[in-house]
Amino acid sequence: MAEEEKKFSKQLIGKTVVSKTGKKFGEVGDIVFETRSGELIHLLLTNPTVYVEKLDLEKDKDNNLLIPFSSVIAVGDFLVVAEEDIA
């Protein structure tokens, strides 16, 4: 990956999460990763919208909504996720 394409995790915190169709999910509150391998596992969602609360998303022990990092398809001004890869 070229240097200018790299994103640091602190740059992702607070970004708005939207679906490919433009539905707003909320904002990135934190990132869950595997400490041994560094693999990104989930995005912890803050300020979830009414729409996303109706989805059957995985939750952590504190009842925070989690979005699989594997569903992220683009990072820019927003994090775009493939809704079909979430459930």
Structural domains for the chain:
9-85 (2.30.30.240)
Please check the confidence at residue 1 and state whether its pLDDT lies above 50.
Answer: no
- Structure tokens of 27? 């904002």
pTM: 0.85
SS3 52: helix
CA gap 35, 40 in Å, rounded? 9
Residue 28 burial by CB count (10 A; 0-12/13-18/19+): exposed, middle or buried?
buried
- Structure tokens of 23? 């539905």
Q: Are residues 12 and 78 in contact, defined by beta-carbon separation less than 8 angstroms?
A: no
Query: Of 76, 57, 54, 77, which Cα lies nearest the Cα of 67?
Result: 57
Identify the band that residue 9 occupies on the pLDDT scale cut at 50, 70 and 90.
confident
pLDDT of residue 85: 84
pLDDT more than 70, % of the chain: 91
Identify the band that residue 6 occupies on the pLDDT scale cut at 50, 70 and 90.
low
Instruction: Render pLDDT for 27-53 as a digit per residue (tens, 0 to 9).
Output: 999 999 998 998 889 999 999 999 998
pLDDT of residue 86: 83
